Chains A and B, each alone.
Chain A
Amino acid sequence: MPTETLPDLLTGLTLSAILFCLGLIGLLVRRNVIYLLMCVEICTNAAALAFVVAGAHWDSSDGQVMFIFIITLAAAEVAIALALVLQFFRRRHTVDIDQLNGLRG
């Protein structure tokens, strides 16, 4: 394994980790459902980035393949999510996630 590229790998992974954390923080602080979905996307793509970095490190194509899988499925996910959000908006006329707390206890 090409050890001399290990630092690059680590920096890349760190970057994606930071990206992931950003998404996470966004999830924690925002209340708008749309923003939440965006943040989730950020997290997912952070992971995807990590794959790419790793792929580059091992110079194999698996990373990119995974990346494609991920964005595809992320798209599908968002589609479903938006459908649900739509229903939510129809009923409550708001996209404030904190309104969605009927289930508790």
Chain B
Amino acid sequence: MQDFFAPFLAWIPLLPLLGFVLLIALPLFHLREPPEAVSAVVGVGSVCLSALLTLLIMWTLFLNNPSAVLQVSLWQWLKVGALQLGFDFYLDWLGMAMLLVVTGVGFLIHLYSAGYMHGDDGYRRYFAYLNLFVGAMLILVMADNLLLLYLGWEGVGLCSYLLIGFWYRNSANGDAARKAFIVTRIGDTAMLLGLILLFSQFGTLSIRALNTAAASAPANNLTVTLAALLLLGGAVGKSAQLPLQTWLPDAMAGPTPVSALIHAATMVTAGVYLIARMHPLFNASETAMSAVGIVGALTLLLAGFSAMVQSDIKRVLAYSTISQIGYMFLALGVGAWTGAIFHLMTHAFFKALLFLSAGSVILSLHHEQSLFSMGGLRRKLPFTFGCFAIGCASLAALPFTAGFYSKDQILLKAWEYQGGFNGIWFTGILGALITGFYSFRLLFLVFFGNDGPASAQCKDANNGVMTLPLSVLAVLALFGGLLTPPLQRVFTQAPAGHAPLWVEGVAIAAPILGLALAWLLFRHNTSPMESRGKSALEKLWFSGWGFDWLYHRLLVQPLTSLARINRNDILNSIYNGTAFICRQLHNLLSTSQNGLIRWYIASFTCGAIIFLALLVVL
């Protein structure tokens, strides 16, 4: 059975890539731009196929045995010295869970995009990029060695860059895109160094070999810790965690479905996946683990606070994404691997839902994104309102939504992390409260109260192509908590024990409290907060704790000014100086050639005298 399916494994990433090639090659077949339908069919169809293939494989192979494993090696990639890398794919339940998210949610978002991007002159380019992204993401997920994973890793980064800057005419988008790529590139470079360190230490880059080796490594040895931290650097960059989180809010410049797919559901969670993938390595070093946990916890809080005061609908969602991924990192940090992945899945569902419905709102309001010009939309966009509400509920982890189960798992783990009350857990609870607050603030500001300025000329832009994915995602956001991936074979960890009842209670109460606060403050979307000017603290939160300002001062400005100063190459002056000296000497000597015979005779005499003098010396 397994070896029957192995060959098909390669097709899962291959199909979207073929779609990509087809899309960029289309104009070569008939020279004028092909009709949108063609592009849509190719783009959506290829992803759909790979989604179906994934489902098929899961159904027939993975569903009934949790320890199922598929692997296929395509060709020898590198064989230099001791380095031997194959172009190999490997699939277990962890990968399968990711595959389901990527292909499934990816397909839905493709479908949605087909409607959303209608009439854009870059339609074909859009789907090409999107397909390339899915392909790269799938490679990332199924890679058997770290270098192949890195290939996918960079590939998705590139696609993110291209799609953020998709509307290239507005150079602000381009800047956001570059920021995203470069900030993540910083993390990626750290990750690459981590790879190199791992290789020079363990002599392999195969993930499984590394994991086994790391498991057998003496605890807390420096190299392993360092390698783990370097990998964490990569993860932090990709998943927009502290201190590299600044790119994600700006990344909202891209089309909304892109934000849904790349910057909520799949790419940004790649960091979580990486750490889960390499969990034995991280297990081997407490420092690394606690680093992960602390990064997660801090990000969770900081992003949450920022999300509470944003005024742009997509920025709120962006910060909430950062904060939710913070949850996942926190989970990883406390060793709740399953919880992390589980939350990753549910988050993919409800955040995609939120983004897509936000997309419909934005489209309905003719690309108006400011919260305070919205309001009272629940009457005008009932369907969207429904979806959005479900999304918010699930995001806030109200009981019995998908988000509830995953978050609950995490919080339990966090509780018993140090066998009782601890900072990590408390941060989690606080985060839950904040989440409840900002998610419902968002809901109320958009859909409740009386109409905002933009709400007047609102017309429902949803069409069939867009409603279908929304409804599917809504269902998943509600009941996705029921399908937990059987990861116990991947992660050998003790199942969550029993925490005292009040802990459960707090976990449930916190988001509801947040909801209540939001209700009090934003029920009528004219809130006291907005009527009076912002306090300094809010300004700080609004600017995402001033990280952008800090980095601009610390890194960007010095670099650019240095570049400007040295634009024409200081080292050049060495040679110009030499040339100048030669020219001066030339002028000096030329003055001696003044054409006066008597002067010549004098110089001759001097020469003779010099010679005789030298004679005495020598």
Contact = CB atoms under 8 A, between A and B. Distances in A.
B601 A98 contact: no
A71 interface: no
B79 interface: no
A31 B593 contact: no
Contact of B594 (A24, A28, A36, A101): A101
A60 to B, nearest CB: 27
A28 B595 contact: no
Contacts of A103: 595
Contacts of B593: 104-105
A100 interface: yes
Contacts of A28: 598, 601-602, 605
A105 B590 contact: yes
B614 interface: no
A27 interface: yes
Contacts of B602: 28
Nearest to A97: B597
Contact of A24 (B590, B595, B596, B605): B605
B583 to A, nearest CB: 15
Contacts of B601: 24, 27-28
B598 A31 contact: yes
Contacts of B597: 36, 97-98, 100-101
A79 B605 CA distance: 25
A28 B597 CA distance: 9
B589 to A, nearest CB: 11
B605 A104 contact: no
A45 to B, nearest CB: 18
A102 B598 contact: no
Interface in A8-61: 24, 27-28, 31, 36
A51 B328 CA distance: 110
Interface in A63-105: 97-98, 100-105
Interface residues of B, number: 10
A24 B604 CA distance: 11
Contacts of A31: 598
B604 to A, nearest CB: 9
A91 to B, nearest CB: 16
A98 B605 CA distance: 18
Interface in B585-618: 590, 593-598, 601-602, 605
B598 A27 contact: yes
Contact of B596 (A27, A36, A101, A105): A101
A47 B593 CA distance: 29
Nearest to A98: B596
B605 A102 contact: no
A103 B593 CA distance: 9
Contacts of B595: 101-105
Contacts of A104: 593-595
A21 to B, nearest CB: 10
Nearest to A39: B601
A84 B598 CA distance: 17
Interface in B324-381: none
B390 to A, nearest CB: 93
Contacts of B594: 101, 104
Contacts of B596: 98, 101
A102 B594 CA distance: 9
A73 to B, nearest CB: 20
Nearest to B595: A104
Given A98-B596, A104-B595, 7 more contacts: A27-B601, A31-B598, A36-B597, A98-B598, A100-B597, A101-B595, A105-B595
- List the 6 closest A-B pairs by CB distance, nearest first: A104-B595, A101-B595, A27-B601, A101-B596, A103-B595, A104-B594
5 contacts: A27-B601, A28-B605, A31-B598, A97-B597, A98-B597
